[in-house]
Structure 1
Amino acid sequence: MKKHKGLLLFSLGLMVALSACGGDGGTTEDDGDVGTDGGVEESTEEKGEIVIGRNNWAENIAVSNMWKILLEEEGYEVDIQSMDKAPVWLGISRGELDIAPEVWLPNTDESYNDQYGDDLDMREMWYEGTELGFAVPEYMDIDSIEELNDMADEFDGQIVGIEEGAALTDLARDAIDEYDLDLDLVTSSDPAMNAEFMQAYNNEEPIVVTLWSPHWLFADYDIKYLEDPKNVFGDPDDIYYMTREGFAEDHPEVVEWMDNWMMDDESLGDLMATINDLDDPYEGAKEWIEENRDMVDEWMAE
């Protein structure tokens, strides 16, 4: 097992005490993202409130808390709202949310972009080259999705997935149909999937999960994606952020900072690993910022 921070295998998640979003797709205030201090103790003059909408994926939790802290340092009051992906897009398009830090294009979020893209502002790319699909531990003697039926009994006839409503969940069902797999997709949540994977891995038991890169599991465990010869899961995406219409005019300095934002496997993996080590998204992001102040100062330069 690999146990070190800052390394992610190139490859669309966070084992913290966060429960999954409610199935009603409603908006909830995500108190679990905020540290016990409730915010930055010293800030400049208040510049108003910014509402960030995020779904329950590790990298989204990580960068949402990172930007919460950075914007609080600049005098903004920042509220993180946790919800499923569809309500994030809807909230941005209606102007009810200000920023959504994670959009996968051109493939994974294509349907959402087609539906809502005309009513929002798609901003700059901040991560290049994602990956997603079915993944297994490296110790397993299997390399392709086409081999899954031969090992269906070893997997207890199931693939461990994440939330309903996630694009990855829909793609997983497409793959089951396309490859005519004799396995059922068991949906749960990202934290629940992580827990099942870690338990199986630590016991060297067989397991197949839906997974994406960037994800902190790749920093701590030897994992491989199963080959997808039919390319059901599609080609790699890049990650962008989006804002409501008019946000750039209301807060030009914020979009300037966020347009400067760029992360790679090492920096994003280190951020997620720090959060996972501290078991606290806010405190972990704060520690990472202090350890990478030169990098974030470049983003915040005017």
Structure 2
Amino acid sequence: MRHRQEENPQRHSFHAGAMLAASIFIASGSAHSVQAADLVIAVPNWPSGQATANILKVAIGKNFGLTADLREMGELNAFSGLESGELDIHPEVWRPNLDAAIQKYVDEKKAVVLAKRAVAAWQGLCATEDAEKAGIKSVKDLSDPEKGALLDTDGDGRGELWIGAATWTSASIERVRALSYGYARNLTLVEAEEDVGMAAVDAAVATGRPMVFACYAPHNVFELHKVTRLEEPAYDPARWKIAPGSDPLWIEHSKADVAWPPSEFHIAWSTSFGAKHADIAAFLEKVDLTPEEVTAMTYALQVERTPPADYAEKWVAENAARIQGWAKP
């Protein structure tokens, strides 16, 4: 869907987490530690990525007889894991968000393969109906202190704008855009997990409070609420200059005062995995999810609170013939 260069540290107790992990390991017995999975699939921290990771796990298990571990992992760490062999498949690699990583690991190092098929997508900023009625229709309106104050939720006089999860590349690009357009001067940019951001949208709509937030499609928010994309200048490559992540001051050295470029996302896998399992690589090339299916995934996981594993089992059962077609040589 998302640019911190590192994984965002969990805000829970490390000691409690370590104790829980240890107890689970002990209770699981030695069989699990001896029987390693055949492959590892990354699990992003957004709904469609979580659903797709689980769907791939179930589908590969049923059609190729291989077991898969699912591992939560940030975007950039995932590319490193694909190169090192720690990871085999990533279910949802967004462009242009990860173009720098794609250039490094796919084009230059040849360590990662990107599926040719992609799901069409878009990214930008959205306003609730109440925000639009209050006169917030364009990114220019966000630089107006009076209109920005309408987005204030904590009483400090500054509006808040959710830009995505801290580990999403898109969140940091939204920070670049806020600095480039100028509305970072009078709005507080909030980084939080998607569940938190979407719960804030639900609450804003329910209480009639104006809200502007980072948005992307395919996504269920457009099914749930009447939200509109803010107007902004059309994408111009001459005005979209994102510095490489290797630059410690890359945000300050970037500029993007136009709309996002056309976006899309792909499945990716490690070159070494594809060489060892050419049949699964061919299968991954044929996966052809539609934007409508991706929207349904996000709705099921985020709104209906369906566990990703349960959703995947049902989806694979309902699409068995189609998946078998993907698996055919």
Q: Could you tell me the TM-score, scaled by structure 1's length? A: 0.79
Shift of 1:179: 1.3
Q: Which string of whole-angstrom CA distances, capped at 9 and with x for unpartnered residues, describes residues 172-223 of structure 1?
A: 1111111111212111111111111111122221111112222232232222
Partner of 2:189: 185
Partner of 2:118: 127
Q: Sort the Cα spacing of 1:297 and 1:274 in 2 relative to 1 into closer, same or farther, 3 A.
A: farther
Partner of 1:109: 98
1:283 aligns with 2:277: no
Q: Sort the Cα spacing of 1:170 and 1:197 in 2 relative to 1 into closer, same or farther, 3 A.
A: same
Partner of 1:227: 231
Please tell me whether the aligned partners of residues 120 and 244 of structure 1 are also in contact (alpha carbons under 8 angstroms): yes
Unaligned runs of 5+ in 1: 1-11, 14-20, 32-45
Greater per-residue helix proportion: 2
Letter in 2 for 1:295: R
Please tell me whether the aligned partners of residues 159 and 185 of structure 1 are also in contact (alpha carbons under 8 angstroms): yes
Unaligned runs of 5+ in 2: 11-16, 22-34, 153-158, 236-257
Deviates more, 1:188-197 or 1:109-118: 109-118
Alignment match of 2:200 (pick from 174, 181, 196): 196
The count of residues paired between Structure 1 and Structure 2 equals 265
Residue aligned with 2:112, SS: strand
Residue aligned with 1:140, SS: helix
Q: Which string of whole-angstrom CA distances, capped at 9 and with x for unpartnered residues, describes residues 241-279 of structure 1?
A: 221121112111111111111111222222333334252
Q: Which string of whole-angstrom CA distances, capped at 9 and with x for unpartnered residues, describes residues 4-62 of structure 1?
A: xxxxxxxx49xxxxxxx7427xxx9xx9xxxxxxxxxxxxxx99611011320121111
CA distance in 1, matches of 2:126, 2:299: 20
Of structures 1 and 2, the larger Rg is shown by 2
Partner of 1:38: none
Partner of 1:83: 73
CA distance in 2, matches of 1:246, 1:124: 15
Alignment match of 1:69 (pick from 55, 58, 63): 58
CA distance in 2, matches of 1:154, 1:235: 29
Please tell me whether the aligned partners of residues 233 and 259 of structure 2 are also in contact (alpha carbons under 8 angstroms): no
Please tell me whether the aligned partners of residues 218 and 292 of structure 2 are also in contact (alpha carbons under 8 angstroms): no
Deviates more, 1:113-122 or 1:96-105: 113-122
Partner of 2:242: none
Q: Which string of whole-angstrom CA distances, capped at 9 and with x for unpartnered residues, describes residues 87-120 of structure 1?
A: 1111112121001111123x21112223333242
CA distance in 2, matches of 1:163, 1:270: 21
CA distance in 1, matches of 2:118, 2:319: 17
The aligned runs of 1:131-170 (5 Å cut-off) are 131-141=122-132, 142-150=136-144, 151-156=147-152, 157-170=159-172
Tell me the C-alpha RMSD between the 2 structures: 2.6
Please tell me whether the aligned partners of residues 122 and 240 of structure 1 are also in contact (alpha carbons under 8 angstroms): no
Letter in 2 for 1:265: P
